[in-house]
Structure 1
Amino acid sequence: MSLRNLSLAAKTTIDGFMTGANKSSIKGSGMEFSQYRSYMPGDDLRWMDWKMYARSDRYYIRESESETNISVRLLVDASASMDHRDGDWTKMEYARYLAASLAYLAHMQGDAVGLYVMREDGIFSLAARQGTQHLNRLFYQLEQAGPKGRFTEPIHYKDIYAGGRKRELLVFITDMYQQGEEIYELLDLLGALRHEIIVLHLMARNEMELSYEGFTTLEDLETGATIQVDTDAIKQGYTQKLTDHLTNTRKALLGRNIDYRLMVTDEPVDEALRAFLQARK
């Protein structure tokens, strides 16, 4: 993350350790053997394993795993709460590197990749395509995506219907900060369109641990409201409420068949991605 150029940072992060991460488990006439199954009337006789027949006097079809290209769409929360800073980095900067790394991974595997930037005044959309030139456009848009205002109002979600009808793998990078239920409304809409959804929930270490001393003033980055607190006095109650909040968030997303992972922004991007992909394997 010391590399300021997104394309170079993404290439450095991904190269060498995640090749083939999204190989499909669809069975068919691919190159890598997967399993045998009993012959069924109508099966293609080209995939009959005659050696198995000679050994067992039974008909078996040889199945293999086939590689597939998928369409990946990255959704990036660009609301003002993503400007929260812990140390040298904001959530938005972490989100940019995370999205850029995933985009480069998809490009490296021949997958189409697109982008939604969730802004207060609407949704910026970049259709999922393949190619180096398209990837560079995506990096440019990520670099321009600055945190501002509140999360996208539900009235703008209709813009999502203007996209293609193809099912996509959606990776939503967000801090899950919402005034009401607007993020859940968005996820319900995306689920109704039958997309597969992954939520990468970003939190900073100082949010997780309330690592401030004595009296301090906290500001809501989206509304500007401030509150003075004695962090030493409220830390125990804060920790319990945060635990309850994260538990409820996880349950709400898993109940919607959404893959969920909490990421803390002091974790190196490559380690966070490796742990996430291994968990999904």
Structure 2
Amino acid sequence: MAIKELSLAAKTTIDGFMSGINKSTIKGSGLEFIQYRSYQPGDDLRSLDWKMFARSDRYYIRESEVETNISIRILVDASASMNHSDGDFKKIDYARYLAASLAYLGNLQGDAIGLYVFKDGGIFSMSPKQDYQHLARMFYQLEQIKPEGDFTKPIHYKELYAGSQKRELLIFVTDLYQKNNEIFDLLDTLNTLKHEVVVFHLMAKNELELNFKGYHSFEDLETGETLQVDQSAARKAYVMALNEHLEKMRISLLDRNIYYRMLSTDQPLDQALRDFLNQRNKSKI
């Protein structure tokens, strides 16, 4: 039942307004004409436009736009900090629905979808495939995620090099909680693969506003350390420091040519995806 609910939630989120939005395009011998260009040595002679040659006595290549399917690998942070909750809703719940929706969308478009879960002690991996049975298995694995422990150590990153030689889209869903820059080290590793990398940074509303009603003692979910906080006295300085930190991370990722988007877990998922995909489309123009 849980898998059916996750599948239905993903379908409901995606259907109706995202059809066709993540198709990549290349110039080639497709059906929709774009432009002519001068013939260059080595060009496929089958692409020559002989009618243009008859009119101009010059050789031209007819270029068209064709749709291409892409390979998408969805990476999910399953370290203990993803258990952070705002009410009854945890970050990992939002990550589950976000990953499921993106997987459903990719499958709908005919793209190959893979799943990589960064769990304590290693990486669970499902290589990209394009079929509904694979998607159903992915939904099952998303439901099984139980965040615990620290972030995956670099020794396990070899799983990430098992992709194809073609450029891929890597989507990383994480709260960017790190102790020793380990997540940015991972992102630097991903950058060496020469793929497009997108980071969805999940934050709960209560941590964005420092509004934990009734709480004065806070525990680090990964280290177990506790801290006493007077929220009302610390809120203004906390919010200012947090905003500076988020901006620093955003700029740092942009400097790496990594797309960054912070999502609050109280934000409707369909709106978050619509905003992301619209912005991504604009950046491709």
TM-score, with length taken from structure 1? 0.91
Contact 1:174 1:200 (C-alpha < 8 Å) held by counterparts:
yes
The DSSP-based 3-state class of the residue aligned with 1:221 is coil
Please give the per-residue CA displacement for 1:204-252, whole angstroms capped at 9, x wherever unaligned. Answer: 1111111246872222111121111111111111111101111111122
Query: Partners in 2 of 1:181 and 1:94 — Cα distance?
Result: 24
Within 5 A, what are the aligned runs for 1:4-43? 5-43=5-43
Q: Which amino acid in structure 2 is aligned with residue 152 of structure 1?
A: T
In the TM superposition, residue 55 of structure 1 has moved relative to its aligned partner by 7.6
2:160 maps to: 160
CA distance in structure 2 between the aligned counterparts of 1:70 and 1:151, rounded to whole angstroms? 28
What is the root-mean-square deviation in Å for CA atoms of aligned residues? Answer: 2.3
Shift of 1:53: 6.6
Give the distance between the partners of 2:266 and 2:202, measured in 1 at CA. Answer: 10
CA distance in 1, matches of 2:215, 2:269: 33
Q: CA–CA distance in 1 between the matches of 2:44 and 2:160?
A: 41
Give secondary structure in 2 for the equivalent of 1:5: helix
For residues 201-216 of structure 1, the aligned pairs below 5 Å read 201-212=201-212, 216=216
Alpha-carbon distance, 1:155 to partner: 2.6
Which AA in structure 2 matches 1:164? G
Kindly tell me: are residues 215 and 249 of structure 1, through their superposed partners in 2, closer, same or farther at Cα, counting changes over 3 Å?
same
Conservation of the 8 A alpha-carbon contact between 1:107 and 1:131: yes
**1 CA distance for matches of 2:270 and 2:35?**
33
Long gaps (5+) in structure 1: none
CA offsets, 1:175-229, max 9 Å, x none?
0001111111111112112222111111111111112468722221111211111
In the aligned structure 2, how far is the partner of 1:232 from the partner of 1:37?
Answer: 65
Partner of 1:232: 232
Aligned pair count reads 279
State whether residues 213 and 231 of structure 1, in contact with CA within 8 Å, keep that contact through their aligned partners in structure 2.
no
What is the 5 A alignment of 1:58-207?
60-161=60-161, 163-166=162-165, 167-207=167-207
Instruction: Return the letter of the residue paired with 1:136.
Output: A
Query: What letter corresponds to residue 13 of structure 1 in structure 2?
Result: T
Matches within 5 A, 1:240-259: 240-259=240-259
Task: Work out the CA distance in 1 between the residues paired with 2:204 and 2:34.
Answer: 42
Check conservation: 2:25, 2:68, Cα contact below 8 A: no
Question: Which position in structure 1 is the counterpart of 2:218?
Answer: 218
Structure 2 segments unaligned to the other structure (5+ residues): none
Q: Counterparts of 1:217 and 1:97 in 2: how far apart (Å)? A: 30
User: Scaled by the length of structure 2, what TM-score is found?
Assistant: 0.89
Contact 1:220 1:226 in 2 (8 A): yes
Alignment partners' CA distance in 1, 2:209 and 2:106? 34
